[in-house]
Structure 1
Amino acid sequence: MKRILIPTDFSDNAWNAILYAIELFHHIPCEFYILNVYTLTSTSLVTTISSQKVGQMYDTVKKESKKGLVSIQENLKNSKVYSHHHFISVSKQGEPVDEIRQFVIEKRMDLIIMGTQGATGAKAIFLGSVTHKVVKTIKSCPVLVIPQGFYFDRLKAVGFATNFKRIFYKSEIDPIISLANMYGGIIRMIEIYKEPSLSPTQNYNANSLEHYFKNKPHEFHVLPDFDTIEKGIQAFIEELEIDMLVMINYQHSFIERLTREPVIKKMVFRTKVPLMVIPADEY
């Protein structure tokens, strides 16, 4: 049974991520953990009031967290769900990214699914900066980011953006193959080049991908260098009608540039299709 973590701030985007997850895995038995992490965001306020008052404030946000999770469970009962899907609500106090990281390790999650932007005001803190940080820092499982207002459709084409400059490991490629297996879609690999031809190392690594994908429909695509990587990838998505984009997050690669401001916000917050970031196998 697949174990999937869906952090929530009770915004529309967080709810949309839940609905997307349900439909993406509609034919696969899953345990969905709906996690809300609550904390007092105004540290300056906390330092100026009594410890008793702080305790009362924490009790209030704790109750709001549990109340919000109950509401999600009620909404699920009134939505299209599947008998082989199970939903577990979890309320935790702490810093969101730290709690998400610890939860993923302790519960051995297979995947994290998050929305891109939260609601306005305080809620935007969670599905804004937290999604950004989770994508950059989680190393134990892939993170799937769902754009605002994006609704599930069958995965006809999965895009894989890479520069072919490092060897690929089976653990990194397995999530991509799994996506292709689920819906029989084509895997489209893309290199945004600075040179018109691949180096011997890039050719070797491209051939290793050919081996991994030999039993799956796949194609290689090369696009000329754009002003920014983000523009090139967005063009790739539009021209080839990509339904989900996949990247591997490893050191000393072009994706490192995607984890620096402001490009990460453009890709994570503005991507037009779901974005899956797979942590590199560094061992």
Structure 2
Amino acid sequence: MKHILIPTNFSSNSWNALEYAVNLFTNEQCIFYILHVDELSNSDIQGNSLLVMTRPNRITAKEKLQVLLKKISSLYANQLHQFIALEEYGNLIDHIKKTVESKKIDIIVMGTKGATGLKTSFLGTNTGNVITKVVCNVLVIPENAIAKAPNKVAFPTDFNLFYTYPILNSITEILEISNAKLDVIHVTQTKPNFSNSQLINQAYLNDYLKELFIDNHSFNHILGKNVRDSILDYITENKIEMLTMVAKNLNLFQQIFFNNSVEELSHQTSVPLFVMHE
């Protein structure tokens, strides 16, 4: 059984994330934890007095969560899926960390506004903070993403990291759930001149994929002056429907997502991003 965490602020973006997750894992037995973290000032508790303050005109987060659960149950009648609402107050990242540990979360699914969620302030967003501060796989769903399993998944890599079991297992699960084809992408400005460790890592990844997905993967070496532009162009030209990366590979991660403008990422706003942690 999979344990999936979906933080929500009751926006359309968080609903899109939930919708995508429900469709992606439609044939998997799952518990979906729908987590809302509100500010302490909205907790109806004044200081340490534990005095409950009544606010009759305000719809509480608990009430909103109940409405959300009713909406989910009316739209998605899947016997394999269970939905549990969680309400917390305080720091979002702290509560996500606690929930990941206490509920044994396998993957966090979060919505984003697309290009604006991946521009210069990327690390300042909730999504960016979750990716960098919470040790758990994260699936980021842009607002324009179609709620269906991907047919083609791209995996940009520079072969500088050894592919550990958690990383390979995460790739395997996504490919098995979606039955998608995997495109491994490596971008260089000149003809590749791999180090010995890069050659070993590439061969190891190739052997692994050949054993499990012999006809469903390819290695693609691209010559390009700019890594980010080359990868984003590849996504568009090859109709990639999910991008997956290793969180630990900070160098490549920075080249693709840091210091981007909205215009540069506008054509990538419908492609979910799957970030894998070890």
TM-score, with length taken from structure 2: 0.83
Equivalenced residue count is 262
1:95-244 equivalences under 5 Å are 95-117=91-113, 129-139=125-135, 141-200=136-195, 201-214=197-210, 215-216=212-213, 217-227=216-226, 229-244=227-242
**Partner of 1:124 in structure 2?**
none
After superposition, the Cα gap between the structure-2 partners of 1:40 and 1:153, relative to the gap in structure 1 and judged at 3 Å, is same
Determine the C-alpha separation between the residues in 1 that align with 2:269 and 2:156: 13
**Partner of 1:88 in structure 2?**
84
Which deviations, in whole Å up to 9, do the C-alpha atoms of 1:106-141 show, x marking residues without a partner? Answer: 2110000000139xxxxxxxxx811111112111x2
**Partner of 1:45 in structure 2?**
none
Are the equivalent residues in 2 in contact too, given 1:250–1:256 (CA < 8 A)?
Answer: no
Range that drifts further, 128-137 or 181-190: 128-137
Gaps of 5+ in 1: 43-49, 119-127
Classify the secondary structure of the residue corresponding to 1:32: strand
Alpha-carbon shift at residue 63 of structure 1 (Å): 5.9
Determine the C-alpha separation between the residues in 2 that align with 1:255 and 1:239: 21
Q: Choose between structure 1 and 2 for higher RCO, CA contacts under 8 A separated by at least 6 residues.
A: 2
Determine the C-alpha separation between the residues in 2 that align with 1:35 and 1:252: 28
Q: Give the residue type in structure 2 aligned to 1:242.
A: I
After superposition, the Cα gap between the structure-2 partners of 1:236 and 1:60, relative to the gap in structure 1 and judged at 3 Å, is farther
Gaps of 5+ in 2: 115-123
Determine the C-alpha separation between the residues in 2 that align with 1:79 and 1:89: 17
Q: Give the residue type in structure 2 aligned to 1:234.
A: L
Q: Give the residue type in structure 2 aligned to 1:113.
A: V
Alpha-carbon shift at residue 153 of structure 1 (Å): 2.6
Q: Give the residue type in structure 2 aligned to 1:187.
A: L
RMSD of aligned alpha carbons: 3.2
Determine the C-alpha separation between the residues in 1 that align with 2:267 and 2:48: 39
TM-score, with length taken from structure 1: 0.82
Q: Give the residue type in structure 2 aligned to 1:244.
A: M
**Partner of 2:251 in structure 1?**
253
